[in-house]
Structure 1
Amino acid sequence: MPEYLAPGVFVEETSFRSKSIQGVGTSVAGIVGPTRTGPLRGTPEVLTSYGDFTRVFGDANPLVFDSTEVPNYTAFSAKAFFDNGGKQLYVTRITKDVNQSGVNGGGSSATSATRVDANSKLTLGSRFPGAMGRYTLEFSWRESENLLSFESTTLPKENELLFLTAAYSLVDELPDDTNAVEGDLPIKVKAVVKHEEGDLSIINGIVVDAEDAVTDKLGSITLADLPAVSSLIRATVKTPASGKVTDGTHAHISLSEQSDVSTYTGVAHWGSLTTLAGTFESDADANPQFKLESDLNEGVGADITIPLVSLVGADTVTSAIAQRNFDVDVRAGGINGEVIYSIGDISTSATGDNTLAKRLPQTPASSDAQRTQPIYASIVDNPGDDDVFNALFNLFDPDAKEGGYSPINEPRYIIEINDKASDGETAVTGTFSGGTDGDAPGAADYRGEIDEVKGNTGISSFEQVEDISIVSTPAAAAQKTTHQAVVAEVQAHCRKMRYRLGLVDSQKDMSIADIRNFASNFDDSRLALYYPWVVMSDPTGVADEISVPPGGFVAGVYAGTDVTRGVHKPPANEVVIGALRFAQEINQFQQELLNPNGINCLRSFPGRGHRVWGGRTLSSDPEWKYVNVRRYFLYLERSIDKSSQWVVFEPNGELLWRNVRNTIEDFLYNEWANGRLLGSKPSSAYFVRCDRSTMTQADLDEGRLVCEIGVAALKPAEFVIFRIGQKTANA
């Protein structure tokens, strides 16, 4: 009771109505089965489209179990679920020995693909086991601006290196101290020169006379006495929008063709390379240089440092791009495969917040990234400034860097987490391991386990998800030796969780006798069996069509019917969207053998398409032989269960009993008014008793409140009979 101790006005809220019951959802499905990628442990997250499924669990391409290619029935079923009206789907991935897996998936028969550079500084790998994890990574440098600038000048700086091009064709143009005579003209100069107090001294280059013979007759060259046909070119490194380029900044220089400028550099040639990898540097006089690092350039035995201005002599430079920050596209299916994941603005630095290891951790911080981030990167402890960049460059595909895969001559920086040598191609640098789907999962893998530390697996993971009402294991139907055991696990789960129904798929190409024998193994109102398989177009495009288990289609029909009509409506006589036909054509006489055994047939009808033509459970109890009755009662029970939690610990007396009766009666009245119960008036449709007639004194002493509810459920019009006879016409 409230206390009123000081004078005043007190406004208090009260309720003059009974508590209400809100109907629970019944259209949420859960599928357990092998997929191409995705987490193996933890609480599954809801998916609302097939696109969500592919983002987390990969595409519909086949799995490979012990070197045998197997259709991806889980992916096909997820697509069928959404196509047929499903809106919410939970998926749990399993592999063989999934219960031995660790937090990151290691330990099961499926393995994760990894790639380690030759110096063991950097590891790139798939976060989840599976053959799909043999990804191709494409790196795109964010600073795409060409930083190298060649410009003509007549006012060089002191000690500046320039590229001189000159042609002496008149005697009067020759320097005063020349040894050349008119017969030597013209004399042509192409050289790297250094400007010092008006003099231009040749550092490296070539001077030829009229005979195209190398000559030393020219003498000194001064800025003031350059011939009319001459030019001085300086090289500069522009400042990009992202900030100043400092010594040590990694870059690549692209050449339009093979070029040799050793005449102008005085150092070794880099061979046939057309993409030069290295760093921008400066000499003692601040002249820009480029250091080709031997570790980054195939065939270069030692580092080569050249003045940038020497590249003027090649006339083949197309760009010089700084390589500091980059984006990564993860491609599935090869170098030109679909981009399934992208992450941007990663630094080649070994430290900072946007390093490769911090942007692609093995265990991401966000729950979405934990499910969808396909790759990780790890770096050795205390890496050096160049360790990350050098490791990446060592892993880049040399053919891609040379533009071998591109229609235009631009380099693509590609790392394949793939053993190319196994496919008869050139082996990649570094080491490759893993990337397999393992073996086909068995009943124990489908059952899963409860592990509060590492996370739950298999069907057991659905115990943490309250909303699921439909459970399916379509891929299990393809494993004949373990299928019955998997169905038994689904049965046990549905009985344990109380408010769930399991969809049972027939096996492929079962005969009438086979499916009857299979159905005879079960007697449970929480199981519904569907036969035969569905032929659909192959989403992968490999084949024109493919035969798949019916569970995903039927789960979608359940969900769609619940939304459009209600859970009281039998999920039968509904079109199967996406079906081209059924694997076996069932006729009326065959169904007469199957229907009494609780085997729901999928049938095709001329002019009416392909339909679900059965709505029975696998129960021998006549009260629970219909799917809609079983599911409707599960709906009622769970709705009352969830909305009656307020009753616990209330004083167990007449007032509480009246409130409970009113609450449930109001709920059932709405059900009757919406046409979900049989009866012309409420008293014919239901009753609710909660009084001394339902409870003894012993019940009260033991703290029990007993409420009895009777409901007249609507049964399906399974056999529609029209009796027609002749009559005599009246006068």
Structure 2
Amino acid sequence: MVSTSYPGVYVQEVSSGVRTIAGVGTSIALFLGRTGMGELNRLVQCLSYEDYTRAFGAEYAGSDMARAVKLFFSNGGTTCAAMRIAKGANASTLTLLNEAKGASLRVEARSAGSFGDDIRLAVSYNTLTPEATFNLELFRWQKSSSGVQQKTMAESYAGLSMDPRHPRYVVDMINQSSALIRVSSLAGTPAASGYSQSGYAVSARTDTIARIQWSSLIGKNAAVNRFRIAVDGNAPVEVDLSSIDFSVAPLDTPSGCAANLPLAIAQLINDKLPAGCSVTASMQAGPAGPTGQDNLATQYLRIASANGDVRIESSFGADLAAPLMLGTANGGLESSRYGDSRPAPTGYVMKLADVAAFAAMRQDSFNKLRVDAGFEIDLSVAPFKIATSPASITEARMYQDASASDQNDGRRGLREKLAIIAAAINAKRITDSSFCYGAELWGDRLAIIPLSGSDNLKPVVARLNGGAVVAPPLKADTSVNVRHYALGSVGASPYQAGGTAGNPGIAPQAAEYEAAYSVIDRELDLFNLLVLPQDADHSEADTRKLWGPASVFCQKRRAFLLMDPPASWTDAQKAVDTATGVNSLRIGLVKDHAAVFYPNLKMDENGREIMVGPCGAIAGVMARIDATRGVWKAPAGTEADLRGVTGVQHRFSDGENGVLNPRAINTIRVFPNGIVSWGARTMDGDDAFGSEYKYLPVRRLALFLEESLYRGLKWAVFEPNDEPLWSQIRLNVGAFMHNQFRQGAFQGATPREAYFVKCDASTTTQNDRNLGIVNIMVGFAPLKPAEFVVLYLQQMAGQIQV
């Protein structure tokens, strides 16, 4: 009631009590069986045959599953669900190792069987944060019609992390998106801290040389003194280092000692960070100098956090991050706590732990690089000349850049030299088409990547000086890996383990079908037709064991089971045989929820004629007839022609059909107008039974009404159980039944003759009301098919005058 408080007109909407009941779909098919690929026991909705093949493939896998689904859509089906089942199947697996050869990721193909043995993976660190994240490329090798291996189903994932808190955590990203694999993390305890390290190598000595280097970058009142830092996932804060004064005292005094520099920087940062968030700072050893020249020994500034990662970026003014090379974008090195947990990259890649060893190499230590036998890259000619420092620098090192003017200048040369090598390798690829490698620079790492060749190809790299091989090649402990990781047992990577080949399993038995029904019960909202395609490895006894439980499941779900004929039915007499005929199929069967169709059909498959069970095609015919005529029309007769088939296994005469039809065997016959379904009886339709659900359209119409009313009356639950509720039920159910009457679903010339709806005190007693029950009685007069058309002909006698 509306609450009134002032004189005036009040408006309130009142419910009309109309709750429209919509009719449910009548021809959603469900297919269960073996397939060549796809996840086991996972329902997939298919709106076309192409949807099905994307999920399960089109190849024959011992079952007529793909053929049945193809015939379903060819004959007018529009929606189906499919599930792959098998006994003893398992998927291809692989364990990826990190660079220290500890377990990183367990990889498992989504599809059981040999499908997964053709899946390949490539890992790279070519991301915005090369020491924190990684990229993963996935694909499957598949031979084309000409026999050439081609990449199919390719997937690419960029910027993945091993950190469970990261928005691109590898387990979440892959398992939610990939159609090829699922992964689980095997990473152990992460590193003690994440850090950001300067890419600028300063002197390791605490004398005037170091003081000059630092004061030129961070002196009091210097032009550059700021950077932005984000720690443990918090928002970036700006840090001002102008309060540090390096010009008033020698660095070997307590007030200006180089050892105190990290402490001062850490304090200034921590003053800006939120509570509970802090960093430490230290000087890390860099490239060593040559013997007797310890003034060339170097060190790097490192800012670390024990709780998470550290990210540094340039300030908007007076920026110090760029000249000091802090932050990945400025040439610094930023390592995640979970960086070491990543799977090792594929190809020939420098390890981070050995970068300093390369940086300390003399620039003239080699002038050529050999990648595999016969491919040499000259590094002594412009623009790929490594030795770029002036002669005034004694024994110039890789970390000294081209602009260096003395021993203590030009401390940012590491990536410069690596870029020169990468560019030379890529230039070789352009000029020599037989050279199958490319190169990339991943932060402080050089990666030489095979672009073609076998999956297990490992680059063989040698460093040459004056034509002679110089060891080690580029680094003492470079990661030499294969081109691709391979699921199964064919991979030869030193960074993979535990690869097992997939097993497609054997034909599913009754237990696998029962398990599938449990999954379907939980996950599939509606289906109307159940098809169990024939399996080549099922004996006739195996198949007969499936029909009873399947029909019970259909009865529970208000669906209908379509049955293929047994292989022993080689003629009409065998089909009605006492021991092996149709009566033997009825044992344990919910007879009015099932129908058998006979014989098998012929279809062309790549120029070869094969036999296939008829139920996939029959389900499609039912869908077509339902759409054009209605579920109350028998899916049989001349308009129920079967498409996509070339013939039938057995042809019947009218006399043979006359033996089969009274026993409720629905025949498929060949007429001049095509191959047609010529029967519409349930397994309860034997003339001797006298069943009210003798005919298939009557049973399916009843199931349609039951399911539609079941769903359309849920609103009535917990409503007050009295006349207002009963009248609303009569109104809504009556409207639904009248709509079916208008479409021609029932017998009768008037609604009174066609159906009735009762819900009142006569159907719901006081005791029922006390128990919380409301009873609704709905009756309908079904249309029976004109199975026998009897034509009476009479000659007219002449005009006889009486």
- What TM-score comes out, normalization by structure 1 length? 0.61
Of the candidates 98, 118, 143, which is equivalent to residue 135 of structure 1?
Answer: 118
Of the candidates 582, 601, 606, which is equivalent to residue 516 of structure 1?
Answer: 582
Provide the rounded CA distance (Å) in 2 between the counterparts of 1:609 and 1:679. 34
Of the candidates 382, 389, 409, which is equivalent to residue 345 of structure 2?
Answer: 389
Provide the rounded CA distance (Å) in 1 between the counterparts of 2:83 and 2:19. 37
User: In the alignment, is the contact (CA less than 8 A) between 1:360 and 1:375 conserved in 2?
Assistant: no
Q: CA, structure 1 residues 354+75, in 2 after alignment: closer, same or farther (shift >3 Å)?
A: farther
Give the Å deviation of 1:533: 1.7
The aligned counterpart of 2:644 is 578
For residue 614 of structure 2, what is the amino acid of its counterpart? P
User: What SS does structure 2 have at the residue aligned with 1:14?
Assistant: coil
Of the candidates 54, 65, 85, which is equivalent to residue 74 of structure 1?
Answer: 65
Of the candidates 723, 728, 738, which is equivalent to residue 654 of structure 1?
Answer: 723
Is 613-622 or 118-127 further displaced after alignment? 118-127
User: What SS does structure 2 have at the residue aligned with 1:76?
Assistant: helix
Give the Å deviation of 1:568: 1.0
> Is there any run of 5+ residues in structure 1 with no aligned partner, and where?
64-69, 97-107, 144-241, 249-323, 449-456
Of the candidates 461, 483, 486, which is equivalent to residue 543 of structure 2?
Answer: 483
Provide the rounded CA distance (Å) in 2 between the counterparts of 1:697 and 1:726. 66
For residue 62 of structure 1, what is the amino acid of its counterpart? Y
Provide the rounded CA distance (Å) in 2 between the counterparts of 1:385 and 1:685. 72
1:395-434 alignment, distance < 5 Å: 411-412=451-452, 414=455, 415=484, 417=486, 432-434=499-501
User: In the alignment, is the contact (CA less than 8 A) between 2:488 and 2:502 conserved in 1?
Assistant: no
For residue 519 of structure 1, what is the amino acid of its counterpart? L
For residue 489 of structure 1, what is the amino acid of its counterpart? P
1:587 matched to 2:653? The reply is: yes
The aligned counterpart of 2:513 is 446
Give the Å deviation of 1:675: 1.3
The aligned counterpart of 1:496 is 556
Give the Å deviation of 1:140: 11
The aligned counterpart of 2:680 is 615
The aligned counterpart of 2:775 is 706
The aligned counterpart of 2:601 is 534
The aligned counterpart of 1:56 is 55
What is the percentage of aligned positions where both structures have the same residue?
27
User: In the alignment, is the contact (CA less than 8 A) between 2:35 and 2:60 conserved in 1?
Assistant: no
For residue 61 of structure 1, what is the amino acid of its counterpart? E
Provide the rounded CA distance (Å) in 2 between the counterparts of 1:8 and 1:557. 64
Give the Å deviation of 1:501: 0.9
Of the candidates 109, 129, 133, which is equivalent to residue 126 of structure 1?
Answer: 109
The C-alpha deviation readout for 1:430-455, integer Å capped at 9, x for no partner, is: 6642211112110011010xxxxxxx
Q: CA, structure 1 residues 584+363, in 2 after alignment: closer, same or farther (shift >3 Å)?
A: farther
1:719 matched to 2:785? The reply is: no
Provide the rounded CA distance (Å) in 1 between the counterparts of 2:181 and 2:173. 11
The C-alpha deviation readout for 1:616-659, integer Å capped at 9, x for no partner, is: 11114521011110010111112122212222333333333333
Provide the rounded CA distance (Å) in 1 between the counterparts of 2:97 and 2:175. 26
The aligned counterpart of 1:563 is 627
1:331-370 alignment, distance < 5 Å: 331-333=141-143, 336=148, 339-344=151-156, 346=158, 361=171, 364=174, 366=176, 369=177
User: What SS does structure 2 have at the residue aligned with 1:623?
Assistant: coil
1:597-636 alignment, distance < 5 Å: 597-605=663-671, 607-619=672-684, 620-636=689-705
The aligned counterpart of 1:470 is 529
Q: CA, structure 1 residues 351+419, in 2 after alignment: closer, same or farther (shift >3 Å)?
A: closer
Provide the rounded CA distance (Å) in 2 between the counterparts of 1:465 and 1:571. 25
User: What SS does structure 2 have at the residue aligned with 1:85?
Assistant: coil
User: In the alignment, is the contact (CA less than 8 A) between 2:105 and 2:183 conserved in 1?
Assistant: no
Provide the rounded CA distance (Å) in 1 between the counterparts of 2:162 and 2:19. 59
Provide the rounded CA distance (Å) in 1 between the counterparts of 2:518 and 2:654. 36
Is 80-89 or 644-653 further displaced after alignment? 644-653
The aligned counterpart of 1:32 is 32
Provide the rounded CA distance (Å) in 2 between the counterparts of 1:352 and 1:622. 65
Provide the rounded CA distance (Å) in 1 between the counterparts of 2:594 and 2:348. 54
Of the candidates 666, 673, 685, which is equivalent to residue 754 of structure 2?
Answer: 685
For residue 89 of structure 1, what is the amino acid of its counterpart? C
User: What SS does structure 2 have at the residue aligned with 1:436?
Assistant: coil
Provide the rounded CA distance (Å) in 2 between the counterparts of 1:392 and 1:586. 70
Provide the rounded CA distance (Å) in 2 between the counterparts of 1:20 and 1:116. 57
Provide the rounded CA distance (Å) in 1 between the counterparts of 2:106 and 2:17. 65
Q: CA, structure 1 residues 523+596, in 2 after alignment: closer, same or farther (shift >3 Å)?
A: farther
User: In the alignment, is the contact (CA less than 8 A) between 1:346 and 1:359 conserved in 2?
Assistant: no
Provide the rounded CA distance (Å) in 1 between the counterparts of 2:161 and 2:23. 56
> Is there any run of 5+ residues in structure 2 with no aligned partner, and where?
189-337, 351-371, 376-428, 437-450, 456-483, 575-579
The aligned counterpart of 2:140 is 330
Provide the rounded CA distance (Å) in 1 between the counterparts of 2:10 and 2:149. 71
User: What SS does structure 2 have at the residue aligned with 1:688?
Assistant: strand
Provide the rounded CA distance (Å) in 2 between the counterparts of 1:408 and 1:35. 41
The aligned counterpart of 2:23 is 23
Provide the rounded CA distance (Å) in 2 between the counterparts of 1:46 and 1:440. 23
Is 649-658 or 48-57 further displaced after alignment? 649-658
The C-alpha deviation readout for 1:385-419, integer Å capped at 9, x for no partner, is: 9962247999xxx99x9x9xxx9875426447477
Q: CA, structure 1 residues 376+585, in 2 after alignment: closer, same or farther (shift >3 Å)?
A: farther
User: In the alignment, is the contact (CA less than 8 A) between 2:719 and 2:725 conserved in 1?
Assistant: yes
The C-alpha deviation readout for 1:31-87, integer Å capped at 9, x for no partner, is: 122222323346x34221222222222x12233xxxxxx2x4222222222222212
For residue 567 of structure 1, what is the amino acid of its counterpart? V
1:553 matched to 2:552? The reply is: no
User: In the alignment, is the contact (CA less than 8 A) between 2:97 and 2:343 conserved in 1?
Assistant: no
RMSD: 4.1
User: In the alignment, is the contact (CA less than 8 A) between 1:345 and 1:354 conserved in 2?
Assistant: no
Provide the rounded CA distance (Å) in 2 between the counterparts of 1:417 and 1:23. 51
Provide the rounded CA distance (Å) in 1 between the counterparts of 2:736 and 2:727. 14
Give the Å deviation of 1:428: 8.4
User: In the alignment, is the contact (CA less than 8 A) between 1:110 and 1:439 conserved in 2?
Assistant: no
Provide the rounded CA distance (Å) in 1 between the counterparts of 2:645 and 2:750. 42
Provide the rounded CA distance (Å) in 1 between the counterparts of 2:152 and 2:34. 19
Provide the rounded CA distance (Å) in 2 between the counterparts of 1:684 and 1:627. 22
Q: CA, structure 1 residues 470+408, in 2 after alignment: closer, same or farther (shift >3 Å)?
A: farther
Give the Å deviation of 1:380: 5.3
Provide the rounded CA distance (Å) in 1 between the counterparts of 2:342 and 2:39. 34
Q: CA, structure 1 residues 124+716, in 2 after alignment: closer, same or farther (shift >3 Å)?
A: same
